[in-house]
Amino acid sequence: AVSLKGRDFLTIHDWTREELTQVLDTADLLKLRQKAGLRDRPLEGRSVGLIFTKPSTRTRVSFEVGVYQLGAQPIYLSGADMQLRRGETLADTARTLSRYLDGIMIRTFAHADVEELARYADIPVINGLTDWQHPCQVMGDLMTIREKRGRLDGIHLAYVGAGNNMAHSLLEGGAKFGMRVTVAYPPEYPPDPVVVERAKADAARSGGSVELFPGDPEAAVAGADVVYTDVWASMGEEAQAEERARRMQAFRVTPALMARAKPDALFMHCLPAHRGEEVVDEVIDGPWSVVWDEAENRLHVQKAIMALVIA
């Protein structure tokens, strides 16, 4: 195994398939050991800062609990309460926090801010969601698919929704692992072409594929092993919520849409769900849904990432 000590985790694209596989294998092991009642504490005596400038339920709780379970101290840092808000630079914040902490997780708006924090921090920085990427979520998603299907290679994942952070990280994750990723989105909200191109390049190497279906959820979902969706308006897009909802009515995951996928297809959602918008109750509460296992796996996969980059 390669050493990941000291590495930042900002996007899935930044890491090799071997490195990402090591995260998934470690996460499986940590989950198994936790379920067996073992208490590993590889980060005993360390401290990890968790910076949030956006709301969170899953990310905050899974990171706080995960850091604690690894034997370290989590420190929740609300962006609104930090000197950042009064004009202290990200670079100076990074330099200061590096003198106290052993690692930083950050959730914020601009991806460039996370890159800047990582550039000036001497300690590992983990991306807990930006407007552009949500890599920890997708690592938990890949762990979940591997658990349910025994492999990632050749699995067809169809994403139905706006070309947002989830679409981008799913494209990058699927492409690394030889999956077939199909993406249906409203023409007004396409995925970033930079992400699509680099995912296509990775897919060509891994034996996977990336296909875009603007305006056509039925075509994207045909024969899929996994149907994935996300909210129509992301955090920070609240002002556009109505307009986006108007344009996305055809992107609702219903039993009829699920019927186009494989009979045993999985339904996945990063959560929080806006029930009745991007997904209906019959699907998220139905036989396809693995959303609670998916949410749980955030904990295990993030513990694996932290154990590998900080320990």
Binding-site residue numbers are: 56-59, 83, 107, 134-137, 165, 230, 234-235, 270-271, 298
Contact 155, 149 (CB under 8 A): yes
Is residue 58 a contact point for ligand CP (CB under 6 A)?
A: yes
Binding partner of residue 57 among ligand CP, ligand NVA, none, CB cut-off 5 to 8 Å per kind: ligand CP
* CA angle centred on 266, ends 227 and 235, rounded to 5°: 50
Which of 7, 102, 111, 137 is the catalytic position?
A: 137
How far is residue 67's CA from residue 105's CA, in Å, rounded to a whole number?
A: 11
Is 134 annotated in the active site?
A: yes
Is 216 annotated in the active site?
A: no
How far is residue 186's CA from residue 244's CA, in Å, rounded to a whole number?
A: 9
Contact 12, 281 (CB under 8 A): no
Contact 302, 62 (CB under 8 A): yes
Is 137 annotated in the active site?
A: yes
How far is residue 150's CA from residue 145's CA, in Å, rounded to a whole number?
A: 7
- Contact letters (x/-) for ligand CP, 117-136, by CB under 6 A? ------------x-------
Q: Which is nearer to ligand NVA, 90 or 162 (CB)?
A: 162
How far is residue 262's CA from residue 224's CA, in Å, rounded to a whole number?
A: 6
Q: Which is nearer to ligand NVA, 29 or 271 (CB)?
A: 271
CB of 48 to ligand NVA, least distance (A): 20
Cα separations (Å) of 207 from 22, 210, 214, 273? 20, 10, 23, 32
First-residue to last-residue Cα distance in the chain: 15
Which of 7, 13, 46, 134 is the catalytic position?
A: 134
Which of 141, 202, 225, 230 is the catalytic position?
A: 230
Per CB under 6 A, which region of 17-25, 57-65, 78-86, 173-181 contacts ligand CP?
Answer: 57-65
Is residue 249 a contact point for ligand CP (CB under 6 A)?
A: no
Contact 103, 123 (CB under 8 A): yes
CB of 107 to ligand CP, least distance (A): 7
Active centre residues (catalytic): 107, 134, 137, 230, 270, 298
Residues that bind ligand CP (CB under 6 A): 56-59, 129, 137, 270-272
